[in-house]
Structure 1
Amino acid sequence: MKKNITLLLIFITMSLLQAADEGSIKWTFSTGGEIYSLPAIGGDGTIYLASYDKYLYALNSDGSLKWKYHALTDNNWECFLRNTPALGSDGTVYFVDNSYGYLFAVGNDGTEKWKADFTDGRIAAPPAIGPNGEIIIVTTMREVFSVNPADGSINWKYTFSGGEDEAGAVIDASGAVFVRGGRLKKISPSGNEEWEFENGSNIYSSAIIAGDGTLYITGSSDKTLYALDGNGNELWNFTAGDKIYGSPVLGPDGTIYFYSYDGFIHAVNPDGTEKWTFDEQFQSLFGDIKATPIVGADSVVYFSGVTSDFSTRLFAINPDGSARWSVTLSDVVRFQATISRDSLLLVPQGNKLLAIKVGSAGLADSPFPKFRGDYANTGYVNVSVTAIGPRKENIPGKFSVSEVYPNPFNPRARIRLNLKRSARVRVDVYNATGRRLLRLTDGQKNTGRQELIWDASSYGSGVYFIDVMIDGVHMTRKALLVK
């Protein structure tokens, strides 16, 4: 009995000491330039970090230097590194430079495998890695490349219009690529555009993919989190109090977390209802810093920002939205962080990488517990997005869309629109697998009734979906072709 009490006291004492240790800085690593990137963590615990001093660093788990690689072009020009590295399944480190448009492949021993020049401009987004090891990069020239990991050769190239993508591509299990250029676009595994989602405002964040195949994307000035199905149809939206520039993240129960310029961390249930908000009156002092929360293995959420008293504080937030602990940091941090498997929160601060002790034993078991998803920052999720889901049609009085008629049909299907005001209308036809077959119309339509006709003479019998987008709002109608 006495022995059991002694063991219990030892356990309680160790637990209290561990809790007291949370938030303490265990080590720092300094580079010769600013650190803008999110670290990647290999399966052996090695930490990979890119710095503006033109070096890629590999660190041991205790913060000591393992090796560093000097990034140079073919002409021996030094490359400024701002972007997050990604790790291939064989440990190869892929990273891009922000000066000349190079993609580098470096082995986990620090030796160069290859480098390739892809653009006359820059590569402002981190690389992503697909299910077959292909590397997806997005350039400031609005180009998307699929790259062969063996030698850096090009598999395919896709060019888009709109704004630049600085957040990076996201890839699902089928190899479909999701990028944003002001609008969210889905690109097939062979490099063809399948659809785009437009919200009337430039989208600055990358999409994330939930375990059930739902896509989540945050707008910017429209202050809105969107849930989409695999055809780009809106399932629901949640509006915050101010702009949202950072990407959302996911907890293990499907809760979506994001930071808004209203000063709150928002937690939203998978059905679009509010779960809680965490209010520390974070200040928006630094332009459109794309701060992103991170979720630990115990569902604790971490975030750092400048609070109302103008101090920089790091918070650990319990799953119910209450504060677990907070610490004051000496300077502003760029909060796109990760958590190592040995319970260290790794976050850049100026030219330093801070390793801060936390209670979470690594990342949450969810597809996107942090920016860029997994430990390796691949942006890849072993889930295929859901083709068709429920719709939110909350726009009475502005326009209406009829069902397809006749239904079943052969060979022509009709659909009627009733517009109470002039609006941009786009109508696409998809097959049952979610592949876009054709676009019936895309342009401004006048007030009044409109009828669109699809002649399906060249298509086989089966189920089809007609997606109608009016001023950025999607509605889908099911049609059955019987020949």
Structure 2
Amino acid sequence: YFAEQSISSSAAIGQDGTIYFGDDNGTLHALNPDGTAKWTYEVNAVPGVPDANRSIESSPALDLYGNIYFGSANGYCYKIMDNGTTGIQDWNVSTGDRVDSSPVIGLSNDVFFMSRDGYLRSLDIDFGMENWVTPIGDVFYSSPVVDENGSVYVVGYAGGGENHLFAIEANGTMDWNTSMNPPPFVIGNIVDGSLAIDNNGTLYFGSFDKKLYSVKVGRNLADSDWPKFRRDL
């Protein structure tokens, strides 16, 4: 299959075997399991945003109903429904800056997006309305992860060369971050890789400072439709 544009987005595979990914021209592709085209969907052009900045580098998240969630460099978050022959936009939400990291799905009918505007957003999964917005700092490509209590963990750039891990409760309030959680520590460089939680309640992520971090959070991965990048791999 030839997409005609560069592909930065990782693929996500639906329960029926459909393969979803985005390209750098702002097109979401849906392929049949045999690699033939099923449908494509182009994100909206935004006034004042060059077409080159419509790229989809965010890898899709999928719910159990076959809906697709992703962000674009045009600053929007999207929910697309797959009706079998076309992709239909259910909603989109503007963030004001690039959405390069992949969304994750929580436990309370919510989906979480990080934007380069420095905010973590919880959106109602059905209607796209904001449940809450919490400042985190700049996030590049790192995706959040959701634990079994519905809390969200994400690494944000705080300025001055400091990056911190944030734990945000399901209602949007900050539980802790690594600048205040004893013993405090600073992540020495940006984090592009996504976060993962194992079955022993330990969270892992790597950084450009050449270190792999292991943080005991005491909670396991959420049993939601898509609690982390690549779901449960």
TM-score range, shorter chain: 0.7 to 0.9
- Structure 1 residue 290, shift from structure 2 partner: 0.9
Q: 2:75 aligns with which of 223, 247, 257?
A: 223
- Mapped partners of 2:66, 2:203: distance in 1: 28
Q: 1:239 aligns with which of 81, 94, 99?
A: 94
Residues 1:296 and 2:147 aligned together: yes
- Mapped partners of 1:236, 1:344: distance in 2: 35
- Structure 1 residue 324, shift from structure 2 partner: 0.5
- Mapped partners of 2:164, 2:226: distance in 1: 24
Instruction: Compute the TM-score of the two structures, normalised by the length of structure 2.
Output: 0.85
- Mapped partners of 1:353, 1:190: distance in 2: 37
- Mapped partners of 1:316, 1:273: distance in 2: 22
- Mapped partners of 1:198, 1:167: distance in 2: 15
- Structure 1 residue 310, shift from structure 2 partner: 4.6
**Alignment root-mean-square deviation, CA:** 1.6
Q: 2:175 aligns with which of 321, 324, 327?
A: 324
Letter of the 1:188 counterpart: N
Residues 1:191 and 2:35 aligned together: yes
Provide Cα deviations, 1:388-433, integer angstroms capped at 9, x if missing partner: xxxxxxxxxxxxxxxxxxxxxxxxxxxxxxxxxxxxxxxxxxxxxx
Provide Cα deviations, 1:419-477, integer angstroms capped at 9, x if missing partner: xxxxxxxxxxxxxxxxxxxxxxxxxxxxxxxxxxxxxxxxxxxxxxxxxxxxxxxxxxx
Runs of 4+ with >3 A deviation: none
Q: 2:210 aligns with which of 345, 348, 351?
A: 351
- Structure 1 residue 174, shift from structure 2 partner: 1.3
Letter of the 1:161 counterpart: E
Provide Cα deviations, 1:273-303, integer angstroms capped at 9, x if missing partner: 00001114x146xxxx312111111111001
- Mapped partners of 2:10, 2:138: distance in 1: 26
Map of 2:223 onto structure 1: 365
Q: Report the secondary structure of 2:178's partner residue.
A: strand
- Mapped partners of 1:257, 1:186: distance in 2: 22
- Mapped partners of 2:87, 2:187: distance in 1: 43
> Which entry has the higher C-alpha Rg, 1 or 2?
1
Asked if the contact 2:157–2:190 (Cα under 8 Å) also holds between the matched residues in 1, the reply is: no
Q: Report the secondary structure of 1:233's partner residue.
A: strand
Asked if the contact 2:9–2:56 (Cα under 8 Å) also holds between the matched residues in 1, the reply is: no
Letter of the 1:224 counterpart: Y
- Structure 1 residue 363, shift from structure 2 partner: 1.1
Asked if the contact 1:247–1:290 (Cα under 8 Å) also holds between the matched residues in 2, the reply is: yes
- Structure 1 residue 309, shift from structure 2 partner: 5.4
Counting matched residue pairs gives 210
Asked if the contact 1:175–1:188 (Cα under 8 Å) also holds between the matched residues in 2, the reply is: yes
Map of 1:161 onto structure 2: 4
- Mapped partners of 2:99, 2:138: distance in 1: 13
- Mapped partners of 2:60, 2:2: distance in 1: 19
- Mapped partners of 1:332, 1:160: distance in 2: 34
Letter of the 2:10 counterpart: G
- Mapped partners of 2:70, 2:158: distance in 1: 26
Aligned sequence identity (%): 28
Map of 2:131 onto structure 1: 275
- Structure 1 residue 219, shift from structure 2 partner: 1.1
- Mapped partners of 1:365, 1:213: distance in 2: 17
Asked if the contact 2:201–2:221 (Cα under 8 Å) also holds between the matched residues in 1, the reply is: no
Residues 1:313 and 2:168 aligned together: no
- Mapped partners of 1:316, 1:247: distance in 2: 18
Letter of the 1:331 counterpart: G
**1:17-56 equivalent positions in 2, closer than 5 A:** none
- Structure 1 residue 167, shift from structure 2 partner: 2.8
Distance change in 2, residues 1:172/1:283 (3 Å): closer
Letter of the 1:265 counterpart: L
Gaps of 5+ in 1: 1-157, 377-483
- Mapped partners of 2:19, 2:187: distance in 1: 39
- Mapped partners of 2:163, 2:57: distance in 1: 24
Distance change in 2, residues 1:330/1:186 (3 Å): closer
- Mapped partners of 1:159, 1:330: distance in 2: 39
Asked if the contact 1:305–1:332 (Cα under 8 Å) also holds between the matched residues in 2, the reply is: no
Provide Cα deviations, 1:68-101, integer angstroms capped at 9, x if missing partner: xxxxxxxxxxxxxxxxxxxxxxxxxxxxxxxxxx
Map of 2:112 onto structure 1: 257
Asked if the contact 2:200–2:218 (Cα under 8 Å) also holds between the matched residues in 1, the reply is: no
